[in-house]
């Protein structure tokens, strides 16, 4: 179920791995359903809080945070659209019933879309932080809100087109998807290696400036850029932890000959859930690693539930 592995247009995307679990591992499938119900709630609540905080707290509306806002919208889409559709598919399998064609198609297209958007956002976040520490004072002049939003629009449009390609045939989609994934991951790794090298150089500069007792503002700026780059790396690392098992099991299913192995497919379905859990994890990462977001989310939470008024 998910990004179909052997589906074609004529099969209405029903020839997907999860269907071979019908009548097998019922309790494991039910456990997966329960996991996804919980993740639906956490992804929706967490990302709604992030989005509302961004909209209500003006100090959050920086150029870099616009990118995180876009990723939060993507994660909210996973919580409100992808998770419920996946739950419906899994529940039909749990009840020993072939999933409805329309539900499977909607689920597959939405998964393709939101997973692709998330991947490109992770690449964009890394590139944004690299430009910030590389361009220094030129960064706000070159990386403007208008340009950032234009890139975000292109990310959504690109994945919408890829989703339409999926409808025209899985072979074409899988080829294009593999190319996009490979380019994005290679580019992201390259960017973070560059960031690491620059941050290491900044660390040496900070040490030298402190020893020389040079201008404090420059030292603080370097520290802030270094901390920001490290924080975005945590977001990238969380993405890898959640997505990498899915990539591996997808590759195993694609290269294996003959009928899919039932145990492998069961593991594959849990890696899909792990992949979706990234949408619940991201808001937690923002609050743990980004002080401004943490304060804003607390303020928004208290405002929603009128806790400030109650405490007076």
Q: What is the largest CA-CA distance in the chain?
A: 72
Q: Residue 36's closest CA among 22, 24, 54, 18?
A: 18
Show the beta-strand stretches assigned E in 33-111.
none
Element (H, E) at 145: helix 145-168
Over 70: is that where the pLDDT of 214 sits?
no
The burial of 131, by beta-carbon neighbours within 10 Å (0-12 exposed, 13-18 middle, 19 or more buried), is given as middle
Tokens of 281: 């994890």
Digit-coded pLDDT (tens) for 122-157: 999 999 988 888 887 788 899 999 999 999 999 999
Digit-coded pLDDT (tens) for 275-306: 999 999 999 999 998 889 999 999 998 888 77
**pLDDT at position 10:** 36
More confident residue, 259 or 151: 151
Token pair 């430009």 is at which residue?
131
Domain boundaries, the chain: 17-300
What is the C-alpha to C-alpha distance for residues 230 and 224, in angstroms, rounded to an integer?
Answer: 10
pTM confidence score? 0.85
- The highest-level CATH class for domain 17-300 is mainly alpha
The number of C-alpha atoms within 13 Å of 134 and in the hemisphere containing its C-beta is: 14
The number of C-alpha atoms within 13 Å of 65 and in the hemisphere containing its C-beta is: 19
**pLDDT at position 173:** 65
What is the C-alpha to C-alpha distance for residues 57 and 2, in angstroms, rounded to an integer?
Answer: 37
Q: How far is CA 210 from CA 44, 76, 123, 219, 222, in A?
A: 45, 43, 33, 8, 12
């Amino acid at each position: 179920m998910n990004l179909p592995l052997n589906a074609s247009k004529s099969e209405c995307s029903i020839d997907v791995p999860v269907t071979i679990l019908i009548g097998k591992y019922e309790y494991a499938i039910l456990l997966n359903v329960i996991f996804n119900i919980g993740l639906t709630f956490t992804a929706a609540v967490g990302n709604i809080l992030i989005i509302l905080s961004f909209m209500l707290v003006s100090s959050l509306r920086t150029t870099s945070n616009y990118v995180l806002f876009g990723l939060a919208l993507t994660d909210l889409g996973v919580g409100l659209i992808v998770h419920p559709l996946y739950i419906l598919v899994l529940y039909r399998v749990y009840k020993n019933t072939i999933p409805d064609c329309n539900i499977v198609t909607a689920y597959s297209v939405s998964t393709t879309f939101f997973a692709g958007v998330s991947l490109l956002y992770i690449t964009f976040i890394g590139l944004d932080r690299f430009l910030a520490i590389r361009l220094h004072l030129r960064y706000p002049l070159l990386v403007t809100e208008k340009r950032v939003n234009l890139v975000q629009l292109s990310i959504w449009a690109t994945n919408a087109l890829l989703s339409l390609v999926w409808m025209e045939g899985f072979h074409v989609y899988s080829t294009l998807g593999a190319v996009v994934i490979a380019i994005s991951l290679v580019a992201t790794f390259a960017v973070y290696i560059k960031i690491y090298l620059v941050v290491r150089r900044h660390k040496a500069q900070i040490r030298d400036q402190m020893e020389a007792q040079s201008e404090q503002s420059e030292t603080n700026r370097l520290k802030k850029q270094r901390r920001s780059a490290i924080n975005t790396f945590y977001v990238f690392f969380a993405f890898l932890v959640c997505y990498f098992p899915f990539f591996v099991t997808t590759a195993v299913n694609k290269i294996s000959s003959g009928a899919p192995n039932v145990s492998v497919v069961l593991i594959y379905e849990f890696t899909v859930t792990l992949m979706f859990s990234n949408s619940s994890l991201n808001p937690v990462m923002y609050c743990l690693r980004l002080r401004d977001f943490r304060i804003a989310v607390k303020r928004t939470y208290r405002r929603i539930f009128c806790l400030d008024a109650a405490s007076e």
